Amino acid sequence: MKKALVFLGLLTAIPNFAQQKEILPDSLINKNQLEEVIIQGNRLQIPFNESSRDIQVITQAQIEALPAKSINEVLSYIGGVDVRQRGPFGTQTDISIDGGTSEQTLVLINGVKMLDAQTAHNMMNIPVPLTAIDHIEVLRGAAARVYGINALTGAINIVTKKGNHSSVSADIQAGSSFKAKEEGDGSGIYGGGSAEVTGIFGSENQSQLFSIAQSNYNGQRYNSASKNTRLFYNGNYDFNNNNSIQAMAGYARSQFGANGFYAAPGDINSEEIVESSVFSLSSKHKWGNFTISPRISDRYGEDDYRYYKDDLSKGRSIHYTNALMLELNSSLKTGIGTFGFGWESRLEKINSSNIGEHKRDNHGAYAELRSNIGEKLQGTVGLYANYNTDFGWQMYPGIDLAYRINAHWKVSTSIGSGQRIPSFSDLYLDQRPGNVGNESLQPENAWSYEGNLQYKKGNLQFKTGYFYRTISDFIDWVRDDSSEPYSPANLGKNNTQGIYGRLQQNFDLGGHQSIGYNLSYNYLQPSLESSSGTQSKYVLESLKHQFVAGVHYRIKDFSFQIKNRWLKRELASAYDVADIRVNYEWQNFLLYTEVTNLFDATYTEAGAVPMPTRWFGLGMKYQWNQH
């Protein structure tokens, strides 16, 4: 930590920094550009600057400047988001928000749920490469009213690009630790690379996006190699000002060595292949003040886990899951505000070698009202009603309020509720002697309370807040004796309170130079009220402290950015990871080099998987835009 802070101090001492250009470092974003971002909730869509929830948005320009090779790594720099990778470079990742579990956070692409009914371990096996992303929205707190089931602690919505003109973006990179491979894992050094291309064919009334990406890494230790393929399409066509149609399709395949993922040290020769596909077709129609948008979508997944990759006759688990989703969203603008109402159905099924064949249906209806009271007070109130064929009816209300004190200060508060339905693995898994499901599990239910204060003036932005969340029937995998298999149980109430603060500022000093910094800190205090006397394994692994700091610099066509993450979990040692990226722009090309884990920290995020040591990367990006 001391090394990183000294290095950050040296960077901030550099005088004079750069003007904004098309490829922008971190928070060097035109203020109007960010405020005009429309939050893509499936219910009511609102401008970012009018939001009454705590929503963080990371834009395309910010993503392009980060020392990150995958969406997982991008999210690791977001305050309150806990990224726990079992494999680096975009392999397998668990995402959680504010001390929750990965099963309690919902990930979406353009509003379509990537929820995997088998396990949340596969939810981040998504087909969108970085060059296809327009922005990412991170919504904190229980959000059933906004996104339906399983948004218990928050939601992450990945929004892809659209354009009214044609463009091509190509990015190729390679990297290495320059360390020799371990004995028995081949020869040479650890290394790998990736390539991705995104093209948009756009005109005044339509936009067609196509992306392809491939990454191959031979791992950072024995049996940790990975191969990832991503294919993605997103199309939009406007018939006129009142009628449009949208289509989305994607495929992702990840094959990786699973050494240490689930059952170390016995799984040293394990391998896993995860395939996911998504399809969506929707339309939007307006009649005066009334808007309606139907959508049909489907997510299919295959998970092939091989405990002995060289002997498939034993220790193999194969899962096939599918979720068909039907939605009807609508809104009506009136004199008292905008009403939103609609219905969604989700039809899930699984066919698995050690879970069996199961299916269930989930149906939800919502109604909400967004309104302003005078010029300073605005808010949204709503209700989500949910029916599941296994668990019956439940109701989830929520309310958000924001009061603008003056041109610079705003105070907001929100109260929300949500539900997490147990996965098929929670209920029916049979992997004796390792893990056994529990068919008597009940859904988790949460109430979340939050208040925050925000200040904006010129190039300075500051936000701080406090939240309290209580989850009843909290689910965790436990066992009373080391000779017994792990099994999930409803342990009781999981209570978490936390505080957070974010500060950013950037300066344009003229002379083609600029400087900026950003800081975020999150503190969490979890507790478990349980009558069973069994201690929750997850609560003990959740984040307690998270501090992220960044500095970015530009002078003419040269820029760099450094990011530093310091994290402390409940019963684990703190670790500190610093990453740096240097860019040089020449005509339509961006040349860059980056070093991740600059000070060679030793740490793990999940399972028994040590994360990569110092890693050096070199890349080039080409950007063409039709004029």
CA distance 114 to 124: 8
Q: 102: burial class by Cβ within 10 Å (0-12, 13-18, 19+)?
A: buried
Give the model's pLDDT for residue 219: 85
- Give the residue-averaged pLDDT of 453-457: 95
- 247-300 pLDDT per residue, tens: 999 999 999 999 988 878 888 999 999 999 999 999 999 999 999 999 999 999
Give the model's pLDDT for residue 577: 96
Task: Name the region of 393 (left: φ>0; alpha: ψ -120 to 50; beta: rest).
Answer: beta
Q: Which two tokens stand for residue 334?
A: 């009136």
- 601 has a pLDDT exceeding 80: yes
Query: Cα-flanking dihedrals φ and ψ of residue 34, to 5°?
Result: -70, -40
Give the model's pLDDT for residue 572: 82
Give the model's pLDDT for residue 50: 62
Query: How many degrees, rounded to 5, is the angle at CA 262 between CA 259 and CA 267?
Result: 40
Q: How confident is the model at residue 136 (pLDDT cuts 50, 70, 90)?
A: very high
Give the model's pLDDT for residue 40: 56
- 362 has a pLDDT exceeding 70: yes
- Give the residue-averaged pLDDT of 72-87: 90
- Give the residue-averaged pLDDT of 607-624: 90
Task: Name the region of 533 (left: φ>0; alpha: ψ -120 to 50; beta: rest).
Answer: left
- 154-177 pLDDT per residue, tens: 999 999 999 999 999 999 999 999
Query: How many degrees, rounded to 5, is the angle at CA 381 between CA 375 and CA 387?
Result: 165
- 23 has a pLDDT exceeding 50: no
Residue 591 near residue 581, CB atoms below 8 Å:
no
Query: How many degrees, rounded to 5, is the angle at CA 205 between CA 202 and CA 208?
Result: 35
Give the model's pLDDT for residue 315: 87
Give the model's pLDDT for residue 284: 95
Give the model's pLDDT for residue 25: 38
- 221-232 pLDDT per residue, tens: 899 999 999 999
- 19 has a pLDDT exceeding 80: no
- Give the residue-averaged pLDDT of 105-110: 93
- Give the residue-averaged pLDDT of 435-443: 93
- 533 has a pLDDT exceeding 80: no
Domains along the chain?
Answer: 2-162+335-625 (2.40.170)
**Pairing mode, strands 133-140 and 112-113:** unpaired
Give the model's pLDDT for residue 485: 79
Give the model's pLDDT for residue 484: 77
- C-alpha 95: how far from its chain's center? 6
- 346 has a pLDDT exceeding 50: yes
Give the model's pLDDT for residue 531: 61
Q: No. of H helices and E strands in the chain?
A: 7, 35
Q: What is the DSSP string of 379-399?
A: EEEEEEEEEETTTEEEEEEEE
Task: Name the region of 110 (left: φ>0; alpha: ψ -120 to 50; beta: rest).
Answer: left
**Pairing mode, strands 105-109 and 154-160:** parallel
Give the full edge-to-edge strand order of the sheet including 55-59: 55-59, 133-140, 154-160, 105-109, 112-113
Q: Which two tokens stand for residue 187?
A: 């020869």
User: pTM for this structure?
Assistant: 0.91
Give the model's pLDDT for residue 268: 92
